[in-house]
């Protein structure tokens, strides 16, 4: 295992840069932190470039022996605590992080999917991460992300996904409206969440739909609403008028799941 003792080391400077989106985009790399995410990355066979371990953090109570064996197959670097704190994005780090190479930047959409989720300027990293995690829980494999949304490879987003980031294809859209119009040409209908919708989430069919969820403050943008085919609303019995975007996405996706399970049961 290589030891690095200087904060001026080239690799340490490089990892520190990856906290910023422009460098993640430039190098097509991002950081993951913590034992669980490292384990998930190894299991999913993602492209791990380096694993950095803080001195003294490789104890059995922190990193299990079988995981140590797997970690040893990669390029591993040991650093003192003061160096690790420079490159970490966590307030109380576990003392292990990895540099991951992004998957191919190829943005081809899989048009065989039942539904596709699109994020229209969802700006809170925690919301973006939770949406990705929820999508993973219902078996979705791709997401359209507008330019104005939080970066899916932001450290906080990555942590919030709990490993889902490794299983979902992130399709970053320079112009989401243009991408959605292309989807319409491939036999998808655009469905948006809206407070002025007449149909509830229980009154629509989810086959070949793009489900667009919007900005925390303003919802789905007007230009996207203008090209939508259906508007849906989550019925609420209380006085609250709207839900957090990640919660709303979960409610919609599990109605899709309910309908899919019924359809599969009928086919049997």
Q: If you average pLDDT over residues 192-205, what whole number do you get?
A: 90
- Is 228 domain-assigned? yes
| Domain shared by 263 and 154, yes or no | yes
**Among residues 255, 231, 256, 209, which one has the least CA distance to residue 113?**
209
| Domain shared by 155 and 242, yes or no | yes
> How does residue 252 score in pLDDT terms, banded at 50, 70 and 90?
very high
- Is 107 domain-assigned? no
187, pLDDT greater than 70: yes
So what's the pLDDT on residue 39?
95
| Domain shared by 55 and 176, yes or no | no
Q: Is 76:54 a contact under the CB 8 Å cutoff?
A: no
| Domain shared by 97 and 133, yes or no | no
So what's the pLDDT on residue 58?
73
CB count within 10 Å of CB 160 equals 21
7, pLDDT greater than 80: yes
Q: If you average pLDDT over residues 253-267, what whole number do you get?
A: 88
Q: How many domains does the chain have?
A: 2
Q: Who wins on pLDDT, 104 or 171?
A: 171
So what's the pLDDT on residue 174?
94
So what's the pLDDT on residue 243?
87
CATH number for the domain harbouring residue 227: 3.40.1280.10
- Reduce the secondary structure of 68-133 to three states and give it as a string: HHHHCCCCEEEECHHHHHHHCCCCCCCCEEEEEECCCCCCCCCCCCCEEEEEECCCCHHHHHHHHH
Q: If you average pLDDT over residues 62-74, what whole number do you get?
A: 88
CATH number for the domain harbouring residue 12: 3.30.1330.30
| Domain shared by 57 and 180, yes or no | no
268, pLDDT greater than 70: no
256, pLDDT greater than 90: yes
Q: Is 192:220 a contact under the CB 8 Å cutoff?
A: yes
Q: If you average pLDDT over residues 163-173, what whole number do you get?
A: 95
Distance in angstroms (rounded) separating the CA atoms of residues 216 and 246? 9
C-alpha dist (Å) from residue 191 to 71, 79, 113, 199: 44, 49, 15, 11
Distance in angstroms (rounded) separating the CA atoms of residues 92 and 260? 41
- Claim: this prediction has a pTM higher than 0.75: yes
Tokens for 4, please give them.
Answer: 């690095």
200, pLDDT greater than 70: yes
- Interval 29-60: pLDDT, tens: 999 999 999 999 999 999 999 999 999 887 77
The mean of the pLDDT values for the chain is 93
265, pLDDT greater than 80: no
Domain that holds residue 136: 115-267
Phi/psi of residue 101, each to 5°? -85, 130
Q: Quick one: angle between helices 245-267 and 125-137, nearest 10? A: 10
């Amino acid at each position: 295992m290589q030891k690095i003792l200087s904060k001026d080391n080239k690799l340490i400077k490089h990892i520190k840069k990856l906290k910023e989106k422009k460098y993640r985009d430039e190098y097509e790399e991002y950081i993951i932190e913590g034992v669980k995410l490292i384990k998930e990355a190894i299991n999913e066979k993602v492209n791990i470039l380096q694993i950095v371990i803080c001195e003294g953090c490789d104890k059995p109570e922190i990193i299990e022996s079988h995981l140590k064996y797997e970690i040893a197959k990669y390029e591993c670097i040991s650093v003192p605590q003061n160096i690790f704190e420079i490159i970490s994005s966590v307030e109380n780090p576990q003392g292990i992080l990895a540099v991951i190479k992004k998957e191919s930047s190829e943005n081809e959409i899989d048009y065989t999917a039942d539904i596709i989720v699109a994020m229209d300027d969802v700006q809170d990293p925690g919301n973006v991460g939770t949406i990705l995690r929820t999508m993973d829980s219902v078996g979705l494999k791709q997401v359209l992300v507008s330019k104005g949304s939080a970066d899916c490879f932001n450290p906080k987003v990555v942590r919030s996904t709990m490993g889902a980031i490794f299983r979902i294809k992130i399709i970053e859209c320079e112009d989401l409206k243009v991408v959605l119009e292309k989807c319409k040409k491939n036999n998808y209908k655009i469905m948006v969440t809206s407070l002025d919708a007449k149909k509830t989430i229980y009154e629509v069919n989810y086959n070949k739909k793009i489900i667009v969820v919007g900005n925390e403050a303003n919802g789905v943008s007007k230009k996207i609403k203008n090209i939508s085919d259906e508007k849906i609303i989550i019925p609420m019995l209380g006085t609250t008028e709207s839900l957090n975007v990640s919660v709303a996405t979960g409610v919609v996706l599990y109605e899709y799941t309910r309908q899919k399970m019924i359809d599969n049961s009928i086919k049997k």
